[in-house]
Amino acid sequence: MALANGLAVANGFPRFLARPPWWGGDLQTVRNYLQRGRPLSLEPHAGEPIEFPMADGSGDVLMGTLNRPREVAADGRRRPLVILVHGLTGCETSRYILASARHLLDGGYLVLRLNLRGAGPSRACCRLRYHAGRTEDLRTIIGRLDGRLAANGIVIVGYSLGGNLLLRYLGEQQRRAPLLGAVSVSAPIDLKAAQLRFMRPRNRRYHDYILARLKADVAASSNGLDSVATIYDFDERIVAPANGFAGAEDYYAKCSAKPLLGAIRVPTLVIHARNDPWIPAASYLAVNWRDNPRLVPLLPRGGGHVGFHGLGGRAAWHDRCIGLFVERLAGGRAAR
């Protein structure tokens, strides 16, 4: 890995060049939403539901869909299971999850599209709800995986809030994390900084859209939502008290992944666009990436928030980078 202009640049990954007409961070970000009317299919890759009962006495059960590649790759490599973890208000059918799954399945990988606690199909089976620091759920899921699925190793990919959750899990577990590798994409590693950025006037439409979805997700189980006017209010009045935090500030401080990046001991690809309209680049530029050689940062100037619609192929740039990274991990596993 080389350093240029104070930014970490990982060797061997393609350069990001925006695909016209998706120039700028906002267009890169909204393209996922504009394309929602064009469904993505994972056929002909077979899918099957999978359940993960939680071990905390809540009775909650997390749901996911395991997709198997139609064809096993002929190169003889032992390909790991890849688990995809969605972001805030997402689930296993979010467009970016389906796009990543299709790219990996076409490459011969088993893919588990996980729904966090209370999200998507998990909502009907859960009393509690996910948040940016509920890392115990990842521990439980990994511990309860069928050994046959995990026989060639596990790689987890987390997007946005799911990326922060993943990075925090890795930092907490350190060498105990039983993973071959991990990838985060557009993670809000400093939750307070992300909250302040998201509530700027220029992000008002983004803010109102996400807040409306958050309120809809908890409408059946929460009272007083009419007085929740901002995402900060939501974290202060809904997320924090439901999860034992003193308030939103306490939640942000205790669940941000940034303080734990130096403790990660699993090879981890960290992808973030410097023009992400939701998450400030300063959160990433302040990290001394030299301190932890297990972290491979990709910080292109463009890409937006979980966008990365670039030249060079049908798949999004971040999906191509994920595929390359996982391929290298699989090759290293085979060599051992």
Q: Inform me whether the pLDDT recorded for 27 exceeds 50.
A: yes
Whether residue 232 is found in the same domain as residue 162: no
Return the number of other C-beta atoms located less than 10 Å from residue 5's C-beta.
Answer: 5
Q: Inform me whether the pLDDT recorded for 59 exceeds 50.
A: yes
Banded model confidence at residue 33, pLDDT cuts 50, 70, 90: confident
225, 240, 255: which is the final residue of a domain? 255
234, 255, 276: which is the final residue of a domain? 255
pLDDT digits (tens, 9 = 90+) for 111-121: 999 999 999 99
| Per-residue confidence (pLDDT) for residue 223, from 0 to 100 | 83
- Kindly state the average pLDDT of the residues 174-183: 98
CA distance 210 to 217: 11
Whether residue 78 is found in the same domain as residue 146: yes
236, 255, 274: which is the final residue of a domain? 255
- Kindly state the average pLDDT of the residues 42-56: 95
CA distance 251 to 161: 13
* Domain that residue 200 falls in: 191-255
CATH number for the domain spanning 125: value is 3.40.50.1820
Whether residue 106 is found in the same domain as residue 52: yes
309-314 long-range CB contacts below 8 Å, 24 or more apart?
Answer: 309/18, 309/19, 309/22, 309/28, 309/31, 310/16, 310/17, 310/18, 310/19, 311/17, 311/18, 311/19, 312/14, 312/17
Q: Inform me whether the pLDDT recorded for 336 exceeds 60.
A: no
Across 131-245, where does the E strand assignment appear?
A: 154-159, 181-185
CA distances from 293 to 8, 10, 73, 95, 265 (A): 11, 11, 30, 32, 9
Whether residue 243 is found in the same domain as residue 217: yes
Percent residues over pLDDT 70 in the chain: 93
| Per-residue confidence (pLDDT) for residue 206, from 0 to 100 | 97
Q: Inform me whether the pLDDT recorded for 2 exceeds 90.
A: no
Q: Inform me whether the pLDDT recorded for 75 exceeds 80.
A: no
| Per-residue confidence (pLDDT) for residue 7, from 0 to 100 | 47
Q: Inform me whether the pLDDT recorded for 98 exceeds 70.
A: yes
More confident residue, 286 or 335: 286
Whether residue 137 is found in the same domain as residue 204: no
Whether residue 276 is found in the same domain as residue 224: no
Whether residue 70 is found in the same domain as residue 158: yes
Whether residue 178 is found in the same domain as residue 204: no
- Kindly state the average pLDDT of the residues 282-303: 97
Say how many domains are in the chain: 2
pLDDT digits (tens, 9 = 90+) for 307-326: 999 999 999 999 999 999 99
- Kindly state the average pLDDT of the residues 75-95: 91
Whether residue 37 is found in the same domain as residue 115: yes
- Kindly state the average pLDDT of the residues 219-244: 94
Whether residue 305 is found in the same domain as residue 321: yes
Whether residue 200 is found in the same domain as residue 184: no
Banded model confidence at residue 39, pLDDT cuts 50, 70, 90: confident
Whether residue 317 is found in the same domain as residue 272: yes
Mean pLDDT of the chain: 93
| Per-residue confidence (pLDDT) for residue 335, from 0 to 100 | 29
Banded model confidence at residue 131, pLDDT cuts 50, 70, 90: very high
Percent residues over pLDDT 90 in the chain: 88
| Per-residue confidence (pLDDT) for residue 73, from 0 to 100 | 63
